Amino acid sequence: MRYPILIEPGSNSTAYSVVVPDLPGCYSAGDTLDEAIENAEEAILMHLEALIDAGESLPEPSSIEMQLNNPAYKDWIRAMVDIDMSRIQGPAQRINITIPKRVLRAIDAAAARAHETRSGFLARAGLKAAQLQEMEKTTGSE
């Protein structure tokens, strides 16, 4: 998954500040721009892990274009951070499934648009469907 980040430039006396607009409450910082981006990746991973542990769904990343016209961040630097979800979702398990070719093409196209692997896309979609099903079960709205 690729999350956009907004970085407030630092100075000789202040660090670079990082905001993750898709994850309210997720902030980071760094003394250099490189360090700020690296620290943002760790902050995002920890934030997502806390959401998973709380049984909450993971927010979909927005595009960087959505952040371009926000006047609150006019002079801030924009960047994208690639998040390796396997770092927080545990070791992968290889499976064998059968899917019609047309469905596989649609999955691959959607995964490419989301900048994900086929496996990552299927895992995220499956988890989202399972969470929705669980919500419907607990609320009785089947």
Tens-place pLDDT, residues 38-66: 999 999 999 998 988 787 888 989 888 88
Predicted TM-score (pTM) of this structure? 0.64
73-130 pLDDT, tens digit per residue, is: 888 999 999 988 877 777 778 889 999 999 999 999 999 998 888 988 898 888 788 8
pLDDT at 142 > cutoff 70: no
Q: Is residue 142 a contact partner of residue 136, using CB atoms and an 8 Å limit? A: yes
DSSP one-letter code for 6? E
Q: Round to whole Å and give the CA distance between 94 and 4.
A: 30
For residue 71, give both structure tokens.
């006047």
What is the spatial distance between Cα 41 and Cα 135, in angstroms, rounded to a whole number? 30
Question: What values do phi and psi take at 24, rounded to 5?
Answer: -55, 130
State which fold the 1-90 domain adopts: Double Stranded RNA Binding Domain (3.30.160)
